[in-house]
Structure 1
């Protein structure tokens, strides 16, 4: 039987491998997103996080993995470009919500329509059985993370 420390170490190694695979295959996609939008990728990332619902600056900073000052700078820039707007939070007088404008939604729609986000060749080379196993494993990890 595998000791818990060994399982944990193996889990950490596999996680690092997955992160590395994703990280190393995203550069070209990110470049294309910036090319299509004319924005730094960090700005497009903020727009994407706001696509489903408005957020406070604090929520947005957490969702993008940025600190509050960097998030404020990004939102200021996007607001100047007419892609987001701020308005008072209906339940918290001290907070403001940030939401996409129509132009911001169009920007994200443009990225979705024009920039392909295909899996790398190694994923395409997996058998149907392997893909089914991978889906099951990733769904289990996703459920545990929520």
Structure 2
């Protein structure tokens, strides 16, 4: 499964979304997101249901299998690789400082 599909699944597992809200959250265009959600639905990881008050839109939510897959993805993505864990504390502190600065610069653009 592509990283974008995993990213979408993790978001959907955290909360249900309207397709338009999910597209905005993921900074994706709607046609591509529809293809992604179609694929996740075919895999049995998400389901679409009618919005309770707006017949024009669908709500996307995770199935139990989708919740489990998202939890597995979160565990994998939350576990640093062994090479990173082997770094000395001073190197980890330097790496943390550099990545924080890069994140700050990225948000300024």
What TM-score results when the alignment is normalised by the length of structure 1?
A: 0.55
Match of 1:61 among 12, 23, 26: 23
Secondary structure of the corresponding residue to residue 86 of structure 1: strand
- The alpha-carbon distance between structure 1 residues 123 and 112, as it changes in their structure 2 partners (threshold 3 A), is farther
Match of residue 101 from structure 1? 63
* Among 33, 40, 47, the residue aligned to 1:71: 33
> After superposition, what is the alpha-carbon deviation per residue over 1:86-143, rounded to whole angstroms, capped at 9, x for unaligned?
000012111110000011110011122334454x7687225xxxx8xx7xxx9xx9xx
Report the count of equivalent residues. 93
In structure 1, stretches of 5+ residues that fail to align are 1-38, 142-146
Q: Gaps (5+ residues) in structure 2?
A: 105-109
Question: TM-score normalized by structure 2?
Answer: 0.72
The CA distance in 1 between the partners of 2:78 and 2:17, in whole Å, is: 27
Q: Bigger radius of gyration, 1 or 2?
A: 1
| CA distance in 2: counterparts of 1:105 and 1:123, whole angstroms | 35
**Aligned pair 1:111/2:73, yes or no?**
yes
- Go from structure 1 to structure 2 and tell me whether the alpha carbon gap of 1:69 and 1:114 turns closer, same or farther (over 3 Å shift): same
Aligned Cα root-mean-square deviation (Å)? 2.7
State the alpha-carbon separation in 1 of the partners of residues 31 and 91 from structure 2. 38
